Amino acid sequence: MIRAPHASSSLHAFFTKADVSRPHRLPVTGRSDLHNRCLKAHDVERHSCRNLAAALLATVLLASPAFAKAPSSEYTSVQDRVRQRAPLQRKQSGYNMPTDAAPDLQAKKPSVPQQVAEVRQLSATAQEATACEDYEQALQTYSYITHTYPDLAIVQYARIKHALLLYQAGKTTDAVLEMEGEEEELRGNAEVHAALAAMLYSESPKQINRAETQWEIAREFDQRFSNLEWVKQEKHWPPAMQTALGNFLNLK
């Protein structure tokens, strides 16, 4: 009677490199059913032993200190690559701001009331410069206001004065363009329409029709712009704009 090999003998044969892959087999015609069952059991046992040996070998290697300290040439995950790359990118770009800097920046940004107070103070400084006929300083102050606080409604006054002072500085084309932009933004503002009428006529008498239209709109909202002295004392227009408005009024 043929007996199936025991598991311990198969494991011993595997580690001693015995040739168990092709055991002596009888011809198929001379095998009995019991023999065939034994051979099948032997094959299953052989594969189980190999899997067990591979598992034991892997366990030994993973427990080895040398293997644990060995450097890895690849990152284990996408997150590891991102974490490893981020400090290098910040170093190369010169960006060293901490990740929690956003709340600090938010805290340092002045509130709306503080911004309004700053605009009023700067506007007063620009008005003093205009009264002292320091038009260049006034222009720079209004330019700072319009670029620093563009979203505040109170800045519309500074934008109008900025366009008037551009005209005083000889930048007439820029002044007309800015005042046209204000006319679209502040349609119905008498000062804007009166100033644009004076600019258009002074720069190109051919645009008399446009100038007349702007003037009629200005008079609909405030007729005091027909008084040149009032414009000088109350609106503080610079001399070049006073001259342009005077020329237009003389035409009228």
Which of the residues in the chain have pLDDT under 70?
A: 1-107, 252
In a 13 Å sphere around the CA of 18, the CA atoms on its Cβ side amount to 11
| Amino acid 43: pLDDT | 59
Give the pair of three-digit tokens for residue 118. 């700053």
The answer to whether 179 and 196 have CB atoms below 8 angstroms apart is yes
pLDDT digits (tens, 9 = 90+) for 106-121: 457 789 999 999 999 9
**Cα 179 versus chain centre, distance:** 32
| Amino acid 36: pLDDT | 58
CA distance 212 to 137: 33
pLDDT digits (tens, 9 = 90+) for 144-166: 999 999 999 999 999 999 999 99
The answer to whether 197 and 214 have CB atoms below 8 angstroms apart is yes
| Amino acid 109: pLDDT | 77
The DSSP annotation for 190-240 comes to: HHHHHHHHHHHHHH-GGGHHHHHHHHHHHHHH-GGGG-HHHIIIII---HH
| Amino acid 60: pLDDT | 57
CA distance 67 to 71: 9
| Amino acid 12: pLDDT | 46
**Residue with token string 């029709």:** 209
| Amino acid 78: pLDDT | 45
Contacts for 208 with CB less than 8 Å, ≥ 6 apart: 201, 251
**Residue with token string 């956003």:** 102
| Amino acid 63: pLDDT | 61
CA distance 55 to 70: 20
